[in-house]
Amino acid sequence: MTNVQKTKYRYLDPALLARLANLNLVARLVVEGFITGLHKSPYQGFSVEFAEYRKYCPGDNLRYIDWKVFGKSDRYYIKRFQEETNLRCTIVLDASGSMGYGSGGVSKFQYACLAAASLSYLMIRQQDSVGLVIFDSSLKTFIPPRSNPHHLKNILLALEQQETGEETDLGNVFHTLAERIKRRGLIIILSDLFDEPESVIRALAHFRHKKHEVILFHTTDPHERKFPFDGLTDFIDMENGERMQVYPRILRQDYIDAFEKFRAEYRSRCMEHKIDYVPMETDLPLDGLLLNYLSRRSRLG
């Protein structure tokens, strides 16, 4: 996986993609570039097309065995119906004020929008159903999952029109969504997770209680991870406007240690609840995000 993630395809520089106005174009370039790279990678042979058959299990109806496959492989396989094979996914996008931060030509929110557009394009290309939720302290957009190609336009339009807003309330929003999304499916969350971890984890566990699979893409900016500031600096909270003036060199190591502890807590707690935790770093190409998604999707599926 490491070799693939380091590959930089022609179109996948995040800052370049953020300057393109047409999200449909961005999504197509990302997905098609990724698929081209995938076939050149150590994952050659790993198809982005999902399985059309599953192995026979005792108790399955014999009428659905594919006898042609049996004749070729001497193994029993059951034909899978469309409702059994197709994925139902909801992408949950954090649009709170802190997501507006960006140090390298693309903000966390812009990167997450590009990722959401690319994932939506990929899933509809696969004839899966995908929906979109955008939130800050409350739900701003709720588009139920659909698989119609025209549905992608609704998702991309919502992404293009949305701007970052108010303070985060991840716990309450996730609890609300867990009750609102009735049918089991895959929940993909794109967020910087700047909220109380214990409250957020309890809410994520609510999704699992409702039998959803969850992939959490933890969105971070390189300056948040490395804290490279120097000299007397004013820091402004992007959600409530509070200011703090500090000498970063004095705080740097303590800050880095605290930030890594913050990420490690989410990682370990997600593991406890069988939630896939994926670092999503805005200075890395989007093909790595798609590879992470597909590898986890194949494991979940």
Closest CA to 200 of 174, 178, 223: 174
CATH number, domain of 139, equals: 3.40.50.410
Take residue 261 and report the two structure tokens written for it: 């502890």
Q: Is the pLDDT of residue 50 over 50?
A: no
Q: Is the pLDDT of residue 37 over 80?
A: no
Is there a single domain that holds both residue 11 and residue 154?
A: yes
Is there a single domain that holds both residue 34 and residue 138?
A: yes
Is there a single domain that holds both residue 175 and residue 285?
A: yes
Is there a single domain that holds both residue 216 and residue 69?
A: no
249/261 Cα distance (integer angstroms):
19
Is there a single domain that holds both residue 70 and residue 170?
A: no
Closest CA to 203 of 92, 96, 301: 92
Of 82, 100, 135, which closes a domain?
A: 82
Q: Which domain holds residue 73?
A: 53-82
Q: What is the CA radius of gyration of the chain?
A: 21
Of 37, 61, 82, which closes a domain?
A: 82
Is there a single domain that holds both residue 146 and residue 283?
A: yes
* 301/167: higher pLDDT: 167
Closest CA to 220 of 139, 112, 97: 112
Q: What is residue 290's three-state secondary structure? A: helix
Q: Is the pLDDT of residue 176 over 60?
A: yes
* 165/131: higher pLDDT: 131
Do 102 and 221 meet the contact criterion of CB atoms below 8 Å apart? yes
Question: In a 10 Å sphere around its CB, with 0-12 CB exposed, 13-18 middle and 19+ buried, how is residue 229 labelled?
Answer: middle
136/98 Cα distance (integer angstroms):
10
132/254 Cα distance (integer angstroms):
37
Do 132 and 116 meet the contact criterion of CB atoms below 8 Å apart? yes
Is there a single domain that holds both residue 206 and residue 147?
A: yes
**Alpha-carbon distances, residue 112 vs 18, 142, 292 (angstroms):** 10, 17, 15
188/166 Cα distance (integer angstroms):
21
Q: Is the pLDDT of residue 200 over 50?
A: yes
The band of 46, judged by pLDDT with boundaries at 50, 70 and 90, is very low
What's the structural domain count of the chain?
2
Q: Is the pLDDT of residue 53 over 70?
A: no
Is there a single domain that holds both residue 70 and residue 161?
A: no
Is there a single domain that holds both residue 142 and residue 159?
A: yes
Take residue 285 and report the two structure tokens written for it: 């190409």
